[in-house]
Structure 1
């Protein structure tokens, strides 16, 4: 009973301390500094100037005119009705105003997200909306847990290969629409097979409109570079090229069409009206068959990991590209993106992320704060409320030309050259990512590229740079000096041992001592220590002595704690001559004495 009482007393003594710690943590979470960290709007809103409003309005309007045709096109790429692309284009803009850290970033649907969603629609748009909600939760948790560092494990060659593969796949999927050929696939191989096997179904009107629009869009990118007095005018003409292409396409389609016959293939009717705010679908029906939440999650499968990862990667890459010298808080960007996806799912959105194209337009338009996103969202909402009947006449060929033009400049051609010139071996993960993404899926392409990179890292750790040279001292004594230029880990322990033994066995008639320099060996593990002791025995069988010269104390201590007699191996001197002549006998004794105390930790 007394024992139980003692335990109760201990419990009641510790309980106030725990409660105090919880109260302190809760108090820290409610400080102004914490609020400013998680709500960046608190930082810039009090400093907002009225003169910024016009610039934010112009930038938001310009981005909105680009976002509308892109959203319709990306909704089609995702295998959804066009209005779902528009649903995805406005909520994220409003959420990012509150939680985002980069003034230029515009959140919404992107070509890569649309392509990855397309494989998960499974006959119902509810899958895309649920995927948006679940992806948002995953991204938000990653941000709360400060897992922004995970993005650093994806190398530039892998991201470059992924981006290039996505651009190739998306552009290939639009070739059929560019020429008016019916197609139900956006995959690389299937799209080109369909194109070449249905050349007889090319629609003349669509082909002419599509090719001409593509050429004009490419040329209009250069309008801003024309030297003239109206530099601002040429810049906005260039920035608004997608909107101008859509307007011209609508006018042509409406003018040349009869009551019962359209001059061009169109994307289809867009459901008018602002989407209702409702819970994401946790069950659905496919062909009249009820599908529960568990079955939907099972159907989404690996995309629940791949889409949040790619979404984070794309958004943070965009933020870094336009951070203008500021450090990007990756975890806060994750929180903003996660909340944006969660809230967007309540208005029937597919997964969203940072858009490079629209962010570049936002930056070029002179946006001052994230408030510019509000005007972009308003433009999209007005389109849904009043202009859906007008957008019914957007030709598929026009949208295809817009997408292909964007994909042509999405590939970082100069980055590929930099990878080739800097280190040709990095072309391997780039090519693996590119080929697997194009000929298999984007998700597995990214995984394979990361896997190849990890293999390179593991191989490098298993094969550190070790240089063995032979030096002759006192005319008749030859020693092998082993220079280890990198840290030793368990993966490289056996490699060091086998290389030294093989070298000594080759010159066994002359080498009497092996000296391993340890200035650069800052830390080792038990596997390395055991292999060092094993190396000593192997060399003894070859009538050769092992000396560890000037090792870091922390590394020497790992070996000494395994075997106390190993202290005699460690010598600390200025020259090899002192080791051979025994001039450091006195210092060795001192070191052994220090080993028993504190110099080499035991």
Structure 2
């Protein structure tokens, strides 16, 4: 059991009661985003709260279905042509199970930092585009229209063209709910979503919603008696694996961001690999009961912290309260008006709709185009394709950074021991007959040949070269291609009649070069710990 859970204190009991009023309506609402029955979100909520409460490392994180995972799940299952609703539910369960499996594998392999492969500007751009998409896709439920298109721009155009058919009562109901949710947000201990839902149920039971033409959620059933793995063919599992990878990556990036934010805020320790295992187990349990994918969403986690939670026991209390509510008030949940659920979803993603999160990238003049591309990818290509495109952009950025061939040429500053870039410090002195090079990127198979070609060109343009000093401080390790390129470079320097010295060589690289045992790279060449040592 998570040591942070322990026995719930009064603060955890109050926090659990408070956030239960938020989590149950959100679970039902997120089911709608995913195009699934309400019980899918409720099952996911139980699985996330139970498993993470016992295994996870964060005392604030609330693991449940999230708006982003619901949208990605809908996009993934609807991308398969020619399937009926029953088959789509089977595919959804398969995706959730594979998502859990990917988390488990990543946790066992200790890949806790995997989310750093997706650049934050890309994540924030994707989140903004996704929030816009989610809001627009809630509008048909609010306005009681049935558009033929689901893509962002065609849907917006169709909604605008059908303005005469809008249900004004549903729109007013959603606007009032949004105002209440926003107004009550200042009192974190008040279950605003639950109060809004209670008012909506009263309107539906009284018959007013039917009079206004406002639809309700409908019957809800919870069945714990038939867990199982979908019966699918090998090709289907392989196809679902591609979709599950995208779901797992966005879920972990979202979860890791939430967990890390609150851990830093309170000075708590965190274990990324342990959280991977917890998220994996939670998704496996959710998938077995045909639930939705789960992660640590920021809004629910923030609400838990604001409600005064002191340990992960608050999440367990919330799970018990939700279970009691489902067992005793299931018939009433069927009377929730759909515009109110849409309002809860819109309120939940409101933080992601703030374009101010992108302002620093424009002020710094860094990666602003990348963030805009991520937004456009979601709006133009759709949620799943936009996510994959955004991940592709991140990986391209990573490769572009590593594949740079920037080399700094160093000189001695004053009469000290510091050697600096002569392009930025023209006063630095380079001894005659000497070149001092420092690659500004780690050497690997994608840039090694180009980096050494750049250095070789400078050597060829330097008559009377006697000594070539190469600083490898940016390269903690070398792959086979880099080693071959370094050996060829050492041979070239020797044939030129100059002396090669390697400086700032990391211990791991020293061990590696000793195994290479090249005659042009004896131990004496990389004995210097600094550039100044090499120059001596």
Q: TM-score range by the shorter chain?
A: 0.7 to 0.9
Q: 1:551 to 1:504 in 2, by over 3 A?
A: closer
Quote how far apart the aligned CAs of 1:243 are: 1.8
Q: How does 1:358-373 map to 2 (within 5 A)?
A: 358-373=300-315
Q: Quick one: which of 191, 195, 203 aligns to 1:252?
A: 203
Q: 1:372 to 1:339 in 2, by over 3 A?
A: same
Q: What does residue 11 of structure 1 align with?
A: none
SS in 2 for 1:388: helix
Q: Quick one: which of 391, 396, 403 aligns to 1:455?
A: 396
Q: What does residue 269 of structure 1 align with?
A: 218
Q: 1:421 to 1:548 in 2, by over 3 A?
A: farther
Contact 1:550 1:571 in 2 (8 A): yes
Q: Quick one: which of 481, 488, 500 aligns to 1:548?
A: 500
Q: How does 1:260-299 map to 2 (within 5 A)?
A: 261-272=210-221, 274-283=222-231, 292-294=232-234, 296-297=236-237
Contact 1:148 1:331 in 2 (8 A): yes
Contact 2:204 2:335 in 1 (8 A): yes
SS in 2 for 1:516: strand
CA displacement 1:260-298 (0-9 Å, x = unmatched): x442422431224x4233222523xxxxxxxx4446525
Q: Which moved more, 1:563-572 or 1:436-445?
A: 563-572
CA distance in 1, matches of 2:433, 2:283: 66
CA displacement 1:12-63 (0-9 Å, x = unmatched): xxxxxxxxxxxxxxxxxxxxxxxxxxx324x653xx4xxx533222211211
1:494 aligns with 2:458: no
Q: What does residue 420 of structure 1 align with?
A: 362
CA distance in 1, matches of 2:114, 2:294: 20
Contact 1:165 1:438 in 2 (8 A): yes
Contact 1:482 1:514 in 2 (8 A): no
SS in 2 for 1:128: helix
Contact 2:377 2:385 in 1 (8 A): yes
Q: Quick one: which of 367, 381, 387 aligns to 2:323?
A: 381
Quote how far apart the aligned CAs of 1:463 are: 2.9
Q: What does residue 468 of structure 2 align with?
A: 516
CA displacement 1:500-548 (0-9 Å, x = unmatched): 454466x67xx3226433344566642332441464388x4xxxx5343
1:40 aligns with 2:2: yes
Q: Quick one: which of 90, 101, 114 aligns to 1:126?
A: 90
1:158 aligns with 2:98: no
CA distance in 1, matches of 2:399, 2:146: 48
Quote how far apart the aligned CAs of 1:75 are: 0.9
Quote how far apart the aligned CAs of 1:78 are: 0.8
1:529 aligns with 2:486: yes
Q: 1:152 to 1:470 in 2, by over 3 A?
A: closer
CA distance in 1, matches of 2:456, 2:92: 60
Q: How does 1:422-441 map to 2 (within 5 A)?
A: 422=364, 424-441=365-382
Contact 2:448 2:485 in 1 (8 A): yes
Q: How does 1:477-492 map to 2 (within 5 A)?
A: 479=433, 481-486=435-440, 487-492=442-447
TM-score (norm 2): 0.81
SS in 1 for 2:59: coil
SS in 2 for 1:88: helix
Q: Quick one: which of 147, 167, 170 aligns to 2:134?
A: 170
- Structure 1 unaligned regions, length at least 5: 1-38, 225-233, 284-291, 472-476, 585-602
TM-score (norm 1): 0.72
CA distance in 2, matches of 1:393, 1:172: 24
CA distance in 2, matches of 1:364, 1:567: 59
CA displacement 1:133-182 (0-9 Å, x = unmatched): 33223322322332223223223222222222221211121122232322
Q: 1:186 to 1:250 in 2, by over 3 A?
A: farther
SS in 1 for 2:464: strand
Q: What does residue 287 of structure 2 align with?
A: 345
CA distance in 2, matches of 1:270, 1:334: 35
Q: 1:448 to 1:212 in 2, by over 3 A?
A: same
Q: What does residue 33 of structure 1 align with?
A: none
CA distance in 2, matches of 1:95, 1:500: 55
How many residues in Structure 1 have an aligned counterpart in Structure 2? 497
Contact 2:188 2:303 in 1 (8 A): no
Q: How does 1:49-448 map to 2 (within 5 A)?
A: 52-119=8-75, 120=77, 122=83, 123-124=85-86, 125-183=89-147, 187-221=151-185, 224=186, 234-237=187-190, 240-255=191-206, 257=208, 261-272=210-221, 274-283=222-231, 292-294=232-234, 296-297=236-237, 300-323=240-263, 324-411=266-353, 413-422=355-364, 424-448=365-389
